[in-house]
Structure 1
Amino acid sequence: MHRKKTKLIWRIFPSFLVIILLSLTVEAWYSTNYFKNFFLETAQRELMGRTFLLQDRFAQALYVDGLTPHQIDTLCKTLGEKIQTRITVILHSGVVIGDSFARVETMENHRKRPEIQDALSGGKSVAVRYSDTLDKNMMYIALPIVYSRSDPAVIRTAVSISAIDAKIEAMRNSIALVLLLTTMAAALASLYVSRRITNPVEQMRQEAQAFSMGNLTHRLSYPDTEELAQLAEAMNFMASELNKKIIDARNHSQELEAVHTSMQEGVIAINAQEQIITINKAAAKIFDFSPEILKTKHVLEVARNYDLQVFIKKALATSEPVEDDIVIDRGQRMVLNIHSTALYDTQDKRMGTLIIFRDITRIRLLETMHKDFAANVSHELKTPLTAIKGFIEIILEMMPDNGGALSQDSVAQYGRFLGIIEKNVNRMVSLIDDLLALARLERLKGTDVQFEAHPLAGLIQKAVGFCADRAQARGITVDVHCPEAITGMVDPTLMEQAVFNLVDNAVKYSSDGTSVSIHAEQKGHNIEIQVKDTGPGIDQEHLPKIFNRFYRVDKGRSRDQGGTGLGLAIVKHIVQYHNGRIEVESRRGKGTCFTIIIPGATEKDMVSG
């Protein structure tokens, strides 16, 4: 709960007023006490002078003239009336024998009075106390009356200080009145000074409200006070700089908005709670919503799609880019390629994820049409080509060994022509087999891969066996090093195909009498299968493209060797379906080394297998 704010003037004015009032009160108290003490000291000096004079007079009356107590009392009353002072004479025994204001017969013994005791001790005594006899405050001065060896008597004089108290009270009242008037004048002066201080601040506050209303082009006026003028200048500069930054931010925002609007790709920014921060029209159109109503909504309220939900959680869980394809069915099937990038704020703190949607429905449709076309053409071509190959084999077999009616030259020509036909037919059959294999792999996208824990040694030896005759005919040795214990989670048929393609290529491109090495080993959780040849090698510029379909480094030589240009593309797809990757190292004239890296089988996989 916020405490109610008070204005600056009501913080300054009371402070000034309290300080002034406190100062005047202290001054009044000090003045009153000072004057009271001054009056008392003056009265004491006057009374002391009178007492000294009376001391000598009553010493003579008592010890020289030998006056009686009645005469002493009469003398006290006579002198007391003249000098307007109470005079009391007390014997050493404390008996009062004379008093100017009271009857001595009614007065009690004074020996125990403090001033009498001090005087009898030989000193002078001053006391201010209440008199029961006169019922008022009195100032007493007592002096001893000493004569020869007689016991001393005491002369005591007294004056009423009630008059002094009355004067002090009157003066105090006057000071209080002056204090009240001064306080009122000081309050008005303080209010005036406070307003002089706070009015420029209040004026600046009112003008600064223009800033809070968004009018950053407004400028504060400069007060006469140096500090406030500097403050106004600083606030004007701040408003100017802030206005520039807001204009720059608005221009930048409009530029981004223009870019987002013109983009054909959908863009959605979401925070860590999967709420939409911003979305462009292309993305809103994909989900059939208006961009204005989608902000702050949960992204799954817009697109209720399981694959998208999995993708978003994966993207938010990592700072690395994530890419995938998903299918959304909204009346018609839509294929989206989605790519995510982590979003960070100005303090490099993760704030969410940016997701880009690209509609690849048409691309995927064309790819499907292409794959279907390749599969259909391959299937339609294989049947007649297989028949042609069969008839050629029959013709070759029907030709007589001695040439029959044909001349030796004709027989040789027929044989050569038929051999060429057979070679090309074999090449076309291989091409079609590879096309069918690649089309099947692309169509299934790994969904038909049957993984099992399978020893790789037998699989590699079987793949090498298919190439043994060709290698032996050219004097090429194939060295295999694969421990029996190495077991991988593979589809044996597909992995055997991948190894065969690599070994077949190695044998094709190696020179006669050389060697091809196959080395498999376990490295951590992965298995590496290396196929290395001593062939002509591949230039670095060709390495990124050799896994593309129909790509050949040396097209003429590839055709002579019977290559189709699809073998490495098939290997790449097979390895990817095994959650692995394939790498290649090669230098011109130094041979080529292909490395298949796939996950190894765990103990759990082996037990379940």
Structure 2
Amino acid sequence: MQTRMQAPKAGAARWTSCTRNIGGPVDKSRTLRWQLYVSYVAAIAISFGTLGWYAASSLKEQAFRDAAETLESQALLFSELLKREVEEGKTGQAKQFYQAMGSSLKSRITITAADGRVIDDSHEDPSRMDNHAYRPEVKKALAGETGVSQRYSDTLNAMMVYVAVPVVQGGRLVGTVRVSRPVGYVLGSLASIYVGLLVAAIAAIVIAGLPTVYFSFRIGKLARQLEEAATRFADGDLSRQIEPPLWQEFTGLAAAINRMAEQMRERLDALNRRKLELEAVLSSMVEAVLMVDNEERLINMNQAAIALFRPRQTEFAGRNFLEVIRNTDLQGFVKRAAASDAPIEEDIVIIGATDIHLQAHGTALRHADGHRMGTLIVLNNITRLKNLEQIRKDLVSNASHELRTPMTAIKGFLETLRDGALDDPEAARRFVEIMIRQTNRLTSIIEDMLTLSEVEKTSHKGSLRMERVELSSVLHAVQKEFTPLAQEKQIDLQVECEPGLSARINEQLFQQALVNLVDNAIKYTGQGGKVRIVCRREREMTSVCVEDDGIGIPREHLSRIFERFYRVDAGRSRKMGGTGLGLAIVKHIAAAHGGDVSVQSSPGAGSRFCIHLPTEASRS
């Protein structure tokens, strides 16, 4: 069967498309493994970065605190020296000492008076320096407190840490001592600590990243396995299942996907069974079945429809109805069926070399929810019924005509006799002879009709009694029966039969068929002609033929010669006593034996009528 069931596949197509897109070129930045790795490493880096920032900030603050304490200690030491200078009246005379100490301690030492004026400085000429009374640290020291500040020094062009302490002599503020260092020197000791922290952080990130790489690889591999399984499922391969992974979370997912695949397989199997059942039903139907959608595009057609219309296209699903089946009458019926909610029925004739009569039924094709999806057309080929009906009509008409003709003649002569012809003995005798001939003709017609009916009935019931018979004996019996008539017309009647050829036949009926054929051959063969009864094995058939060199039959009559009451020349046939049923009887007797008949003839060249018996009915 060549029906093509178009089950809905839109969802499956989308799923397949999605899964196949996954298998295309992969953007590495979007892979699960890469995103997991980046996420874990970023989290670790942020954690260590935050920890490092906090540690660096704490160390920096501690460094500044330590530096401030160191500078304060130095400032207090120099403040004691300043006090001695004040006692001895030698202020401003220890510049070299301050320079040496500042160089040794990596610090800058500045001595100011109580008014903020610079008295001495280890790095600069005091006379060239501004009053420091408004410097933050000095200002605080002049107020009697220790001053600490961090700011840019215009003198040294560097960020500095300043610590200033007041110098009190005899309960009186006599000046300040300020000690400072560059920030870079303060933080220089932290550089190695920062490098160590950075190296430790990098090592920690690398060490922590290794398990991340491993687990992300495992998760990525599992994701690929799930992807491959989903792709197989989308492609229809539901036989292979996913192996349970090690992680419990994914074990449940794999089990769920396997259950889904099993359910899909069961449903697909059920759908396939239903599809095969539907295909079997459609293919076994002798009716042509067509399904069209609401736009008059073909959805499906069964094998009977394909054999009936023989479309040029092998793929017809989705094509316009008229594009595949070029018949406007049928298309009009499809339109009317599509426009009607109720089933409709019409008779359609497809005109061709042999007209095809169709009984068309159209009804709506609906989804389970009642929505109309198209129209179902069922075409029943009633050509044989129409032909049988026509044959019945012709039979009734012909039988009536054949019976009416002798009856009319008999009635006419009887009325003539009643009206006075009885008084004329010679005319009455002639009329009676005519009525006897017409009565005999009427009897022959009735007998042939009864014979034909009996043959048909026996053939249909399959109760024909047959036995194996030597065919040569049947042929010679027929020859013997017609020898007087053949001699009367000086016709050479011959029998040719292969020795030992036999067949399973009903001898009486088969002889009746040969009698009809030989009778016709002698009737339509002129004086001095030849008639042969030939029996031979031909391929898979055994053929018994009656050949003559008579008047022959025109070609246009050969296709109907075996019909009941059909005559090539009605007047001549009646004149020779034919009933018009002889060849019909021959055809039905051949059919009752499982065979058939054939004829070859042309005007003036004679005729050849054959009865063909199947191989299983014959044996040489």
**CA distance, structure 2, for counterparts of residue 220 and residue 314 of structure 1:** 54
The superposition leaves residues 443-468 of structure 1 with CA deviations (integer Å, 9 ceiling, x where unpaired) of xxxxxxxxxxxxxxxxxxxxxxxxxx
Letter of the structure 1 residue corresponding to residue 136 of structure 2: P
Letter of the structure 2 residue corresponding to residue 181 of structure 1: A
| Partner in structure 2 of residue 303 of structure 1 | 325
**SS of residue matched to 1:332:** coil
| Partner in structure 1 of residue 304 of structure 2 | 282
**CA distance, structure 2, for counterparts of residue 82 and residue 210 of structure 1:** 81
Letter of the structure 1 residue corresponding to residue 71 of structure 2: L
Does 2:69 match 1:45?
Answer: yes
Does 2:355 match 1:333?
Answer: yes
Does 2:64 match 1:16?
Answer: no
| Partner in structure 2 of residue 247 of structure 1 | 269
Structure 1 residue 210: Cα displacement: 4.1
Structure 1 residue 254: Cα displacement: 1.6
**CA distance, structure 2, for counterparts of residue 290 and residue 52 of structure 1:** 115
**CA distance, structure 2, for counterparts of residue 299 and residue 36 of structure 1:** 88
Query: What are the equivalent positions in structure 2 for 1:354-369 lying under 5 Å apart?
Result: 354-366=376-388
Letter of the structure 2 residue corresponding to residue 29 of structure 1: W
**CA distance, structure 2, for counterparts of residue 218 and residue 96 of structure 1:** 93
From 246, 262, 269, the equivalent of 1:224 is 246
Structure 1 residue 303: Cα displacement: 2.8
**CA distance, structure 1, for counterparts of residue 255 and residue 213 of structure 2:** 28
The superposition leaves residues 280-333 of structure 1 with CA deviations (integer Å, 9 ceiling, x where unpaired) of 121122213489444333221233222222211122223321221111112222
Checking the alignment, whether the CA contact within 8 Å between 1:343 and 1:352 is kept in structure 2 is yes
Long gaps (5+) in structure 1: 385-609
Query: What are the equivalent positions in structure 2 for 1:23-102 lying under 5 Å apart?
Result: 23-55=47-79, 57-59=81-83, 61-62=85-86, 65-71=87-93, 73=95, 76=98, 85-102=107-124
**CA distance, structure 1, for counterparts of residue 187 and residue 152 of structure 2:** 13
From 256, 259, 279, the equivalent of 1:234 is 256
**CA distance, structure 2, for counterparts of residue 317 and residue 213 of structure 1:** 39
Checking the alignment, whether the CA contact within 8 Å between 1:73 and 1:97 is kept in structure 2 is no
Checking the alignment, whether the CA contact within 8 Å between 1:74 and 1:98 is kept in structure 2 is no
Structure 1 residue 150: Cα displacement: 6.2
Assess, with a 3 A threshold, how the Cα gap between structure 1 residues 351 and 25 changes in structure 2: closer, same or farther.
Answer: same
**CA distance, structure 2, for counterparts of residue 288 and residue 74 of structure 1:** 123
Higher relative contact order (CA 8 A, sep 6+): 2
Does 2:200 match 1:178?
Answer: yes
**SS of residue matched to 1:37:** helix
**SS of residue matched to 1:218:** coil
Assess, with a 3 A threshold, how the Cα gap between structure 1 residues 77 and 369 changes in structure 2: closer, same or farther.
Answer: closer
Structure 1 residue 349: Cα displacement: 2.8
Assess, with a 3 A threshold, how the Cα gap between structure 1 residues 74 and 305 changes in structure 2: closer, same or farther.
Answer: closer
| Partner in structure 1 of residue 139 of structure 2 | 117
The superposition leaves residues 347-388 of structure 1 with CA deviations (integer Å, 9 ceiling, x where unpaired) of 44322111000112333455567778999989x99xx9xxxx
Does 2:337 match 1:318?
Answer: no
From 190, 211, 214, the equivalent of 2:236 is 214
Query: What are the equivalent positions in structure 2 for 1:403-552 lying under 5 Å apart?
Result: none
From 21, 31, 45, the equivalent of 1:7 is 31
Assess, with a 3 A threshold, how the Cα gap between structure 1 residues 4 and 50 changes in structure 2: closer, same or farther.
Answer: same
Assess, with a 3 A threshold, how the Cα gap between structure 1 residues 203 and 95 changes in structure 2: closer, same or farther.
Answer: same
The superposition leaves residues 98-125 of structure 1 with CA deviations (integer Å, 9 ceiling, x where unpaired) of 2344443444433343322333344432
Assess, with a 3 A threshold, how the Cα gap between structure 1 residues 316 and 154 changes in structure 2: closer, same or farther.
Answer: same
Structure 1 residue 238: Cα displacement: 1.8
**SS of residue matched to 1:336:** strand
| Partner in structure 2 of residue 168 of structure 1 | 190
Assess, with a 3 A threshold, how the Cα gap between structure 1 residues 72 and 291 changes in structure 2: closer, same or farther.
Answer: closer
Checking the alignment, whether the CA contact within 8 Å between 2:72 and 2:165 is kept in structure 1 is no
Find runs of 4+ consecutive structure 1 residues off by over 6 angstroms: 81-84, 148-151, 369-378
**SS of residue matched to 1:315:** helix
**CA distance, structure 1, for counterparts of residue 35 and residue 117 of structure 2:** 69
| Partner in structure 2 of residue 352 of structure 1 | 374
Letter of the structure 1 residue corresponding to residue 326 of structure 2: R
Letter of the structure 2 residue corresponding to residue 11 of structure 1: Q
Letter of the structure 2 residue corresponding to residue 38 of structure 1: Q
Structure 1 residue 135: Cα displacement: 5.1
Assess, with a 3 A threshold, how the Cα gap between structure 1 residues 135 and 298 changes in structure 2: closer, same or farther.
Answer: closer
Checking the alignment, whether the CA contact within 8 Å between 1:281 and 1:291 is kept in structure 2 is no
**SS of residue matched to 1:248:** helix
**SS of residue matched to 1:331:** coil
**CA distance, structure 2, for counterparts of residue 271 and residue 83 of structure 1:** 101
**CA distance, structure 1, for counterparts of residue 390 and residue 135 of structure 2:** 133
**CA distance, structure 2, for counterparts of residue 67 and residue 359 of structure 1:** 143
**SS of residue matched to 1:48:** helix
The superposition leaves residues 541-563 of structure 1 with CA deviations (integer Å, 9 ceiling, x where unpaired) of xxxxxxxxxxxxxxxxxxxxxxx
**SS of residue matched to 2:109:** strand
Letter of the structure 2 residue corresponding to residue 154 of structure 1: T
Assess, with a 3 A threshold, how the Cα gap between structure 1 residues 285 and 135 changes in structure 2: closer, same or farther.
Answer: closer
Structure 1 residue 158: Cα displacement: 2.3
Checking the alignment, whether the CA contact within 8 Å between 1:72 and 1:97 is kept in structure 2 is no
From 169, 178, 199, the equivalent of 1:156 is 178
Query: May I ask how many residue pairs the two structures share in their alignment?
Result: 381
Which moved further from structure 2: 117-126 or 80-89? Answer: 80-89
Assess, with a 3 A threshold, how the Cα gap between structure 1 residues 343 and 245 changes in structure 2: closer, same or farther.
Answer: same
Structure 1 residue 93: Cα displacement: 3.7
**CA distance, structure 1, for counterparts of residue 36 and residue 57 of structure 2:** 32
Query: Could you say what the CA RMSD is over the residues aligned between the two structures, in angstroms?
Result: 3.6
Query: What are the equivalent positions in structure 2 for 1:569-584 lying under 5 Å apart?
Result: none
Letter of the structure 2 residue corresponding to residue 9 of structure 1: R
Structure 1 residue 338: Cα displacement: 0.8
**CA distance, structure 1, for counterparts of residue 232 and residue 189 of structure 2:** 64
Query: What are the equivalent positions in structure 2 for 1:546-565 lying under 5 Å apart?
Result: none
**Normalization by structure 2: what TM-score?**
0.54
**SS of residue matched to 2:93:** helix
The superposition leaves residues 188-230 of structure 1 with CA deviations (integer Å, 9 ceiling, x where unpaired) of 3321121132233333444555434433222221111112111
Assess, with a 3 A threshold, how the Cα gap between structure 1 residues 301 and 196 changes in structure 2: closer, same or farther.
Answer: closer
Long gaps (5+) in structure 2: 1-17, 408-620
**SS of residue matched to 1:71:** coil
**CA distance, structure 1, for counterparts of residue 80 and residue 361 of structure 2:** 125
**CA distance, structure 1, for counterparts of residue 171 and residue 138 of structure 2:** 19
Assess, with a 3 A threshold, how the Cα gap between structure 1 residues 359 and 70 changes in structure 2: closer, same or farther.
Answer: closer
